[in-house]
A = this chain, B = another copy of it.
Amino acid sequence: MDIKKMVITQARRAKDASYEMLKATTKSKNKALEYIALALDSQRTALKKENKKDITAGKKKGLTAAFLDRLTLNDEHIDSMIKSLKDVIKLTDPVGEITSEYKRPNGMKIKKIRMPLGVIVIIFESRPNVCIEAAALTIKSGNSVILRGGSDAINSNIYMGRIIKKALLKAVLPEAAVEVMENTDRKAVAEVLKLKDFVDVIIPRGGKGLVNFVADNSRIPVIYHDAGICHTFIDKTADLKMALKVSLNAKVQRPSTCNSMETLLVHEGIAKKFLPVMAKKFQAEKVELRVDEKTLKIVPGLKKATEEDWGTEYNDLILSVKVVKDIGEAITHINHYSSHHSDAIITKDDKHSVKFTIEVDSAAVFVNASTRLNDGYEFGLGAEIGISNQKLHARGPVGLKELTSEKYIVFGTGQLRG
């Protein structure tokens, strides 16, 4: 069978299953998740054996140690997948929620009701645990999912796909609600991106190359974030101890993530007091500083930032620093250079808090807190499939609710259009 036919067959199966999934009870969806957890626990040895195949192949291929590490499924990872299944079981089922309800003058009763999106394609890279976490969220939200993991984890992914399908059947749900693409050719992805009759949303989870490939080529709506250029602005009235702690956390707690800080903006009124202390502390944490002229005058000897720096997502222990004359300049800089993901202000001024949160055009805007907190668990969504910095549908963490949308249902007594 050629790639195109194979992809269509799988997508059609997932679509048919989605019409069963949209009416599945919370109880049966939770049962499926429970059975997956039980199977993962009892089939540890077999799963680790499949994973070993991937690791061996990866070593032969010369994958880096870091890559092999992400590929590995040990008991700790299996425990963590089981925990995430149990966490999702506890979450409220969003399907069927009536989000508004009203009556029109002609007597029509109108309700908006939350329903699954349908078929979601999730494209991810090395980590095989995404398989379980993504399946948990899509099953619980009543969707079908097509999982397309990286070629290097294919044995692990196929094995987990089988576990999931058996669990669905045991819970009397359609096994095609979770499909694993066994063909990891990029051509197969390209074909999926055209199937607008069968696929409702595409979610790419991975590096820029993957995200851009999907966004550039998809005829189907895509949920993604395409960059994480996040800022922290230290206002004139900031508590400087807090400013130091929060900005340091935003940079160094896990610099490779999308919600870590890339640029620090400092009000000129406190720059002389704050910057020398800040520079010392960040340098002690091995952060390379790239600074503007004004900063350089206060802390000589630092590397000068170029225009390119202000628009760069380092994902590394590098930080650009700029002195601004007021909150207005800070907001203008952020709206120009930010990727509209997560930006923060440290201030004691309530008017500035309000101004900053309204005017900074980002998915999550923080006052006196670390940008690293833009996260499904931290925001109380329970789990997330990713963070979106787009404007449509969902901004910020994408959890169960964001995997649904609202449709209108209308109850009439023979109403006509006049």
Which residues of A pack against B, CB within 8 Å? Answer: 19, 22-23, 96, 102, 104, 106, 108, 110, 113, 115, 117-118, 200-201, 215-216, 219, 221, 223, 239, 242, 245-246, 249, 253-254, 335, 353, 357-359, 361-370, 372-375, 378-380, 390-393, 395-396, 405-417
User: What are the 4 A-B residue pairs with the smallest beta carbon separation, nearest first?
Assistant: A369-B412, A372-B417, A249-B416, A364-B408
B412/A363 in contact, CB under 8 A: no
Checking B117, B358, B391 against A221 with a beta-carbon cut-off of 8 angstroms, the contacting residue is B391
Residues of B within 8 A of A216 (CB): 219
A367/B410 in contact, CB under 8 A: yes
B379/A408 in contact, CB under 8 A: yes
A298 to chain B, nearest CB (A): 24
Residue of B nearest to A117 (CB): B391
A416/B372 in contact, CB under 8 A: yes
A-B contact pairs, 25 of them (CB 8 A): A19-B359, A23-B358, A104-B380, A110-B379, A110-B380, A113-B357, A115-B358, A115-B361, A118-B361, A200-B391, A200-B392, A215-B219, A221-B390, A239-B414, A242-B414, A254-B417, A364-B407, A365-B407, A365-B410, A367-B410, A370-B416, A391-B405, A393-B393, A395-B408, A396-B407
Residue of B nearest to A407 (CB): B395
A417/B363 in contact, CB under 8 A: no
B414/A245 in contact, CB under 8 A: yes
Q: In whole angstroms, what is the CA distance A366 to B109 when docked? A: 10
Q: In whole angstroms, what is the CA distance A362 to B369 when docked? A: 41
Residues of B within 8 A of A106 (CB): 378
Checking B22, B411, B417 against A368 with a beta-carbon cut-off of 8 angstroms, the contacting residue is B411
Residues of B within 8 A of A113 (CB): 357-358
Known: A22-B359, A416-B253. A408 touches B221 (CB 8 A): no
Q: In whole angstroms, what is the CA distance A184 to B315 when docked? A: 42
Residue of B nearest to A105 (CB): B380
B392/A201 in contact, CB under 8 A: yes
B104/A417 in contact, CB under 8 A: no
Q: In whole angstroms, what is the CA distance A89 to B411 when docked? A: 29
Residues of B within 8 A of A367 (CB): 409-412
| Extra A-B contacts (15), CB below 8 Å, given A216-B219, A365-B408 | A19-B335, A19-B361, A23-B359, A117-B391, A201-B391, A357-B409, A364-B408, A367-B409, A367-B410, A369-B410, A369-B416, A373-B410, A373-B417, A374-B408, A392-B392
Residues of B within 8 A of A115 (CB): 358, 361
A397 to chain B, nearest CB (A): 8
Known: A219-B215, A391-B201, A407-B363. A369 touches B104 (CB 8 A): no
Residue of B nearest to A110 (CB): B379
Residue of B nearest to A405 (CB): B391
Checking B223, B366, B391, B417 against A378 with a beta-carbon cut-off of 8 angstroms, the contacting residue is B417
B239/A369 in contact, CB under 8 A: no
